[in-house]
Amino acid sequence: MPRASHLLAALLAALLLTGAALATADDEVARRVLQAVQKRAASLSASGDSKAPWWVLQRVEPVSWRPRAFVFHNFLTEAEADHIVAQAKPFMKRSTVVGPGGASVEDSIRTSYGTFLKRLQDPVIAEVEKRVATWTQLNITHQEDMQILRYGIGQKYGAHYDSLDNDSPRVATVLLYLSDVEEGGETAFPQGSEWVDSSVQQRFEPFSECAAGHVAAKAKKGDALLFFSLKPDGKLDAASLHTGCPVVKGVKWTEFSLHFALLLQIVYPEECKDSRPECADWAASGECEKNKAYMRGDMSSLGACRAACGDCEVCAKGDRDCMSRNRVRAGYLSMDELEM
């Protein structure tokens, strides 16, 4: 069993190697964030407080058993939270919900602005995702891309469940709070939720009108909220119904990661497959044109629904010419051995 000091050394070595691998000016911000994390870990080790990674020292607090919910205090550094917000800001668009036929539609139930950041997009995001996986014991391969949300005054996300897909239900949600909110903006569980005990409730209160009388967590920069949508028997926990309360004063930035029961399907560029079961419905409702980057892909990633959008051809087993055409069409090297 490795000692805690060895774990810290491995963490620092990995971070230093990651930092050394950053070669372009565009990565300078990520480099500075990683250096801040390294400095914090090193200072804790030097002070003798602990030989474990700095984030292991933070406090995880159970807040509810209906649903099962936990707050990890100081899960993120301030620099990490600011970095994630900075990456998301240029791409924020009005949030949508899944409408009839699987189409993405605007709805008054959800009035925030949001965007997605790719898994492992840069070293800072990769480090945060690994930390989430370590805490939840749910591998990165079961995580969706990070979704970043911004709520201004009066903006909210009405009561909803995160787990609706029976083929691969969402087991758990992790919310990372990227800013402090002066008033409102809590994550509340309005249906049959129960505090672990009254002392936890007293520490978390007072709440806005939306969250009063329910289990709820305030948006505190750097904290993380983990809750489980499914019970241990795999059935939906009705108490996991939750709402993002309206912001009364200030601005709320948050990130949420959804964790699936099954491994998220990895599709290679030579394959002609959809990575989501809803792709056919989405394509039929026009999402191939409305949401091209996600459905069909862009310069940075494959589309989730290339087959449904008709952007590839199904190849017979071993048909390298066909697979090469799919790769080239998606912007990748062909399977010609001279090129590979």
Domain boundaries, the chain: 4-55, 58-260, 265-340
What pLDDT is attached to residue 71? 95
User: From CA 147, how far away is CA 95, in angstroms rounded?
Assistant: 10
Between 145 and 7, residue with greater pLDDT: 145
Percent of the chain with pLDDT over 90: 46
What pLDDT is attached to residue 138? 81
168: pLDDT strictly greater than 60: no
Question: Poorest-confidence range of 34-43, 151-160, 173-182?
Answer: 34-43
Strand arrangement, sheet containing 252-260: 93-94, 113-117, 146-151, 252-260, 170-177, 224-228, 68-72, 60-66, 194-195
Q: For residue 113, how many C-alpha atoms fall within 13 Å in the half-sphere facing its CB? A: 13
For CA atoms 95, 97, 103, 107, give the dihedral sign.
negative
Q: What's the pTM? A: 0.65
> Domain 58-260 - what CATH class?
mainly beta
136: pLDDT strictly greater than 50: yes
Across 220-248, average pLDDT: 93
What pLDDT is attached to residue 100? 66
The pLDDT tens digits of the residues spanning 30-85 come to 555 545 544 554 554 445 555 555 555 568 899 999 999 999 999 999 999 999 99
The pLDDT tens digits of the residues spanning 206-218 come to 999 999 999 999 9
What pLDDT is attached to residue 232? 83
